[in-house]
Amino acid sequence: MVVFEDERPVAYARAMKKGTSFSSWSSFALRQAAAGAVLVASVASADCMAASSVPPAVPMRALDQDIQAVRPKLVTWRRDIHSHPELSGQEVRTSKLVADHLRALGLEVTTEVGGHGVVGLLRGARPGKVVALRADMDALPVKETTGLPFASTVVAPYMGGESPVAHACGHDGHTAILMGVAEVLAHEKARMAGTVKFIFQPAEEGVPEVPNGSTPVFGARAMVAQGVMEHPKVDAIFALHIVPMMPAGVVGYRPGPILASGDSFEIQIEGKGTHGAVPWKGVDPIVASAQVVVDLQTIVSRQLDISREPAVISIGSIHGGNRSNIIPESVKMQGTLRTFDEGMREDAKRRITAMTEAVATANGAKGTVQFANPGYAVTSNDESLTERVVPVLRAATDGKLAISPKVSASEDFSEYQKIAPGVYVFLGATPKGKTPATAASNHAPNFDFDEDALPVGVRVLSALALDYLSR
């Protein structure tokens, strides 16, 4: 369990051990602040005591010298990428920056993998296993409001128009961290047995425009389809994500599900238009839609066993009609489904369709549901691999380690985990002058993070790779 200086949050840790969790880091941070707790540098979970008896086989002192040398570059890279953000599928400049850096280090480099993806191979002096490290490179259609001297002013094509673009999710930091890891591990090549595969991924946030209504293949799925987990075959894969709502320098991990699946869906309610003064002459799709929105929530509250795993169904967009006294022909809604279990995910999708069709029919309308394909699968950390790397994480963070709550955001790192065991962790990076409870969340226009977290990220990923290859 997580050890705190204040006894009150220990109840949180005990609940975590039983499988209970808060819905997000934001609620965790708020509860922490309310309790007045301070996280200390220790983890005392019985689940990882056996693993902790095996010290990580990593030359931390030697690594730290190289990390200190690369530290100024991390900030330079991060700020350069931050001020030149590129949307999903448009990562031309970023991928060139990455590829040029990897080539300069002497790595074998492949570009245009799954779009603008870059893959670098670092082969050790002796044969051995293959470990992959992944970073995402794309930005978001968000207007930045941080006021930073290197803030983005970029505007780019988006959904048939133009949009401001910003690195509002920390992918600039992820890219800089993995570039730093490549430089640090290149110095370990002579002592390394095995291969490190550096995966710089485009389009993690998704490609918004798909030609001719075809099934989109982007991001991790596209890279996997082009063989990124083969040639050579990857034995294990690791990644991290920057989280400002977690104390700077702390790493959060969790065996099993850590990020939710993500399924976008569109609902169409077809009615019969008429004058607003005589609704009985038509079929009102707005009333039917309102009932659908309300009744969909009973799927989570009354039909899914949320004592086993949490789930979320949200409608984020409703469009129908254009005048106060005209009942329209149809209404279109868009929503998202989040689950932490693949069986529950498929069950919920079936129930969303059945509920929509039944409620629409009861109102004399017609309801159809279409799910985006593909959605994001549950990101679930391999339990055996997670237990094995806990001592490495503890050593790499000087003990600043915490069991993470389940987070209802989604990630396509799950595509790699379908091929090889993988572990995904969170890197705390609360900006200076903020607290975890007051820091802007990922995807917010004022999102920022503490750049002192960058070398911690390099230390963590470098240690994970070297330890895995050495055992």
Which positions are annotated as active-site residues? 376, 451
Residue 303, classed as helix, strand or coil, is: helix
Distance (Å, whole) CA 163 – CA 109: 32
Peptide bond into 374 cis (omega under 30): yes
Q: Identify each DSSP E strand in 397-437 by its residue range.
A: 401-403, 422-428
Cα dihedral 183→188→194→199 (10° resolution):
-10
Which of 206, 135, 207, 118 lies closest to 170, judged by CA? 135
The Cα 101–Cα 89 span in angstroms is 21
- Residue identified by tokens 């985006």 is 372
Distance CA 155, CA 167 (A): 12
Copy the structure tokens of residue 404.
């993470």
Strand arrangement, sheet containing 330-339:
311-319, 330-339, 261-270, 366-371
Strand 422-428 relative to strand 236-243, pairing? parallel
Gap between the Cα atoms of 397 and 223, Å rounded: 30
Helix (H, G, I), strand (E, B) or coil at 177: helix
Instruction: Give the residue from 136, 387, 128, 134 showing the smallest Cα distance to 235.
Output: 128
Q: How many CB atoms lie within 10 A of CB 214?
A: 7
* Spatial CA neighbour of 228 closest among 136, 132, 137, 88: 132
CA quadruple 27, 33, 39, 45: dihedral positive or negative? negative
Phi, psi of 193 (to 5 degrees): -110, 115
Can the peptide bond before residue 232 be classed as cis, meaning omega within 30 degrees of 0?
yes
Distance CA 229, CA 235 (A): 9
Which tokens is 254 given?
A: 């969790």
Q: Distance between the two ends of the chain, CA-based, in angstroms?
A: 26
H helix runs in 118-189, sequence order: 171-186
Query: Checking phi first, is residue 203 left (phi over 0); if not, alpha (psi -120 to 50) or beta?
Result: left
